[in-house]
Structure 1
Amino acid sequence: MNQSQLVDQVEKKGFAWHAEYWKHNNEFHHHKKAQLVYVESGYQYLYVDSCQFLLPQNHVAYIPSNRPHKTTHASEHVSLRTLYFDVEGLPPFYDDLYLFAIPTVLREMIMYTEKWSMNMKHNESEQTFLRAILLELPSFVKNAVPLITPVPKTPVLLETTAYIHNHYPSTITIDELAQLCFMSIRTLERQFKKETGISVAKYIQMVRIIKSIELLSEGQHTINEIALLVGYNSAQSYSNVFTKLMGQRPTQFIQHTLTP
């Protein structure tokens, strides 16, 4: 029995499935229940309709009911926390796809559901708790970090994005990426922009900023240290890029988003 069949056979309105080493379904599939997937560690690519997105660590995807999708792993080990919901009768909000950085409260709530992972029997407290997550989802999405990273379709450009993810702390030049792809710089830039809607330079920036958000969330490093860890040679240059993408400086982000 595959994942989709198992999910559709669960008669409960809410269902939790936690997996440290997730086995990806490389074929498009869909299920009656809507899906909320939290990437606890690693990162993966999410394919929905004709679009492809990066879903990195500490990010969440809400996939509507009956929406064809598939995932492929982009890192060796991916730990996923997945919740499934019956959304029949709920507002139009629940008919759309959402990807966002996970708020602290939602992360703690999802982690708490591990006690019910793969529980096939009805449990009233479980269903009440899962329903609370579902009904609060619009608020989580509204206040989430709006940083969605599309990914290209062709294998050679996917290799390019994988290279970026593996080398973001170092200096990455367009020239070395072009050599990796056996393309001219001009061809690489044109093809990458065509498939993702953003430039290679912007993609590198977004990967670094996403990683810096993870480090900011951990609260174990100063902004100066984080700047160096994600590939910037100064806190000022990092802060400038962060502000351009996020609309606020790292210090403001910590105060407004991470502080309880």
Structure 2
Amino acid sequence: MNQLIEAKERCEAEGLDMTIDEIFNSVVPPKSGYVQDRARAAEEKNEELTKQIEELRARQYGIEESLFQRIRVDVQEHFQQARLNVDTPSWMHVETFNGKTIKTTVTYKASITDQWVTQIILARHEARLTVVGLGIKWKPHQNSYRMNNKSTTLQLCTDNKCLIVQLFYIDYIPQSLKDILMNPNFTFDGTGVGDDIQKLKSEYGLPCSKSANNGEMAKSRWPGRFSRLGLKDLAFQILGLIMTMKKPLHLTKSNWEARGLSDDQVEHA
């Protein structure tokens, strides 16, 4: 400050017309190139450190997210294993398929079976025709040339609700299950459903009044277009649905006599 005052007085004494900025620059010279380079380097270093901090935060978030996913999978596997180790007569499995939530009830209790079937009958009592998907599972023989084992599960599905009845362990066959199978307002559909119905009748005394083999219907409707297509192929060819769910052979040949079915088996069924 004293330097500025002295410079101003000197300019006035010498009759020099200078602005305050000019006087300031004459007293305090501008930054040298070295100082400017240091300032620029410090600014660049600050930007680099800021970028590194952001990357570390993103990496930390990714690690936390990955850890969360692993923990979630571990918890799911833990509860599934706990369920398999405990005698659970009924439970609910929820999955999403083509954007649609499917709720599957798995049970070997006649009372739960009766409740599910009765709800379907009451909900569709005014409908002239209701199509219900039907399928069965059994534990395959090690020797594929031998006759099939007794059916262990019956799968029924309509809209977004499915039922897997573990016939192998059920306490008794409820009358409502017999009624819905013989109800003329219900048509039971599936690939090779005729063989499944015959097997149910011979093994459990469960006849069915109306059925439709979707594979045979597709061949009849479009001759020459379909030969031995499965449900996955028919869904894509007719409805345009892409079934991403895989059905590996080890699940097809898995132990369907197990009292506690795994989540993979339920999705497969």
Task: State the TM-score, normalizing by the size of structure 1.
Answer: 0.25
TM-score, normalized by length of structure 2? Answer: 0.24
